[in-house]
Chains A and B, each alone.
Chain A
Amino acid sequence: MNSLRSFWYRAGPVLTVLLTLFAIWYVAAVWLNSSWAYDKAKRADTTISFSEMVVDTMAQDKPLLPAPHQVVSEIYKTTVLKKITSKRSLIWHGWITLSATLLGFAFGTGLGIVLAIGIVYSRAMDMSVMPWVITSQTIPILAIAPMIIVVLNAVGVSGLLPKAIISMYLSFFPVVVGMVKGLRAPDQMQMDQMRTWNASKFTSLWKLRLPSSMPYLFASLKIGIAASLVGAIVGELPTGAVAGLGARLLAGSYYGQTIQIWSALIGAAILAASLVALIGMVEKYTLRKMGMQS
């Protein structure tokens, strides 16, 4: 009884919002797809009733906005019913994108931490690097992604790496910003304390600054991994839509396969949410292990 109540206490608001979203989605699907349903009837020289129109909007081949159940069934068909190795499997495409995402995320995190350490320890870098870092993020990624792909292709690098580099380009930014703040989190007293022990710069980095920065790092990583996924998808667009969630999006838009586009979109969203949740779990575990959360 009590556990049921506490389940509703937690799940209730989430389910309410979800149901509301689905309701809005269905209404929008009827509204947007209705003109096509009426068009079809007009060409066939018949008239259809409102209820017939509603039924039609739920089951069009290339609807303007697919109904939720169409997307769900498409996702089911392309995940559970297809072999993972099939080029029509959403899981196969998802894995292509995920591998580029994870590699780019690792690069981006590494680059972000190294830059942040440089900014905190070197006055020259403190004065000069940050404006470049910010400028890098003001350039639209869609503009720069094809150039990265083309340039790397010209020097013989293709496949996973160019996509990972675009991921890195997006994901290092939150890490730099968060880690500069995190590495500067220790107060003057803690730095003085290190001085009284005659600790080296490396020691105070390793024993004080890095542990202090952990909460900041995890906040950055959550933003960074989502940005990485966006980067990997964008990186798949200029390569001619061979493989990956980005390819599914692009191929879908070539052929007006809106159901495929939406299932790839939802797939990407689920992937991003899972990645962020995974980092959240690692964060919780790490901070608890460090005694930072009671």
Chain B
Amino acid sequence: MNNPVISAKNLSLIFSTNDGPVHALQGINLDIEKGEFVSFIGPSGCGKTTLLRVMADLETPTSGTIQVNGMSAAEARMNRAYGYVFQAAGLYPWRTIGGNIKLPLEIMGYTKAQQAERVAHVLELVELVGFEKKFPWQLSGGMQQRASIARALAFDADILLMDEPFGALDEIVRDHLNEQLLKLWARTEKTIGFVTHSIPEAVFLSTKIVVMSPRPGRIADIIDSPLPRDRTLDIRDSPEFLDIAAQVRDGLHAGHADE
């Protein structure tokens, strides 16, 4: 068996606040294999976003170890091992969509020709061909978020970390983007970490669902999904889907029960 792409061992993170220490994460053990789609689900305050930020070296764990691509998280970040999609699209209003996608490429020193080629490629991946010269305000919220995903994909990191990327969008747009994301995942074979608070979204997208519970933030359950990788929205009515959704719900309840 291959080495896991992301591996957390006995990971803890304590924030010191004015109200005393807050255990954001406690005793996290998790392995993510290459090509997996892993969702992190749980109520607010369960540390799911914090865990993703630790993987991205945006937070430093208090104890325990985290390895990304066999390196420390900091080394992985400096090697540009991952693309990170935030809750808000965060596109620069003074740059066109193409210019926004180019931004990380400029920073990383790609040549102009490489930049143009990659922008064209990722625009095609997120189905935004023809919008390269538009400014962000000319696009809908869903399209802006797709552009921000394109930006995270542009520099070919093999890990994609997404923090509630569709949280601010309405359900119809969200369903559509979920389907697109699965297609994109199938085409690019990336390893994806995905934070959400929607059970259907987590079950629909994931090969592995990490259920988390708060105070202290910890993993309540890890559910491996038996659903096939190639799925459409219809699968949400299948008994297998409902069964996994029930398991996730149980996991969330169990996390709350022992408070």
Chain B residue with Cβ nearest A214: B94
A207 touches B107 (CB 8 A): yes
- Where the two chains meet, the residues of B that have a C-beta atom closer than 8 Å to any C-beta of A are 56-58, 77-78, 80, 82-84, 86-88, 90, 92-96, 103-104, 106-108, 135-137
Report A-chain residues with C-beta under 8 Å of the C-beta of B135. Answer: 291
CA distance A8 to B88 in the complex (A): 45
Contacts A198-B77, A291-B93, A291-B94 known; list 20 others, CB within 8 Å: A189-B86, A189-B88, A189-B90, A192-B58, A192-B84, A192-B86, A193-B90, A196-B58, A196-B77, A196-B82, A197-B108, A198-B78, A207-B106, A207-B107, A208-B92, A211-B94, A214-B94, A290-B94, A291-B96, A294-B137
Q: Which of chain A's residues have a CB closer than 8 A to the CB of B87?
A: 189
Can you pick out 23 interface pairs between chain A and chain B where the beta carbons lie within 8 Å of each other? A189-B87, A189-B88, A192-B84, A193-B84, A193-B86, A195-B57, A195-B58, A195-B77, A196-B77, A196-B82, A196-B83, A198-B77, A198-B80, A203-B107, A208-B92, A211-B94, A290-B94, A291-B93, A291-B94, A291-B95, A291-B135, A291-B137, A292-B93
Complex contacts, B108 vs chain A, CB 8 Å = 197-198
Chain B interface SS verdict (over half): loop
Interface of A is mostly: helix
Q: In the docked arrangement, what's the CA distance between A100 and B82, Å?
A: 53
Interface size class of A (residues with CB under 8 A): 10 to 19
Which B residues lie within 8 Å of A207 (CB)? 103, 106-107
Tell me the complex Cα distance, A225–B90, Å: 34
Query: Could you mark each residue 141-170 of chain A with 1 if its beta carbon is under 8 Å from any beta carbon of chain B, else 0?
Result: 000000000000000000000000000000
Nearest CB on B from A131, distance (A): 26
- Contact A196 B137, beta carbon cutoff 8 Å: no
Chain A residue numbers with a CB within 8 Å of B88 are 189
- Asked whether A282 is an interface residue with its Cβ less than 8 Å from the other chain, the reply is no
Chain B, residue nearest A199 (CB): B107
Within 8 A of B (CB), among A248-294: 290-292, 294
B90, B96, B107, B135: residue with the most chain A Cβ atoms closer than 10 Å: B107
> What residue in chain B is nearest A194 (Cβ atoms)?
B107
Binary contact track A190-234/B, C-beta < 8 Å → 1, others 0 = 101101111100010001100100100000000000000000000
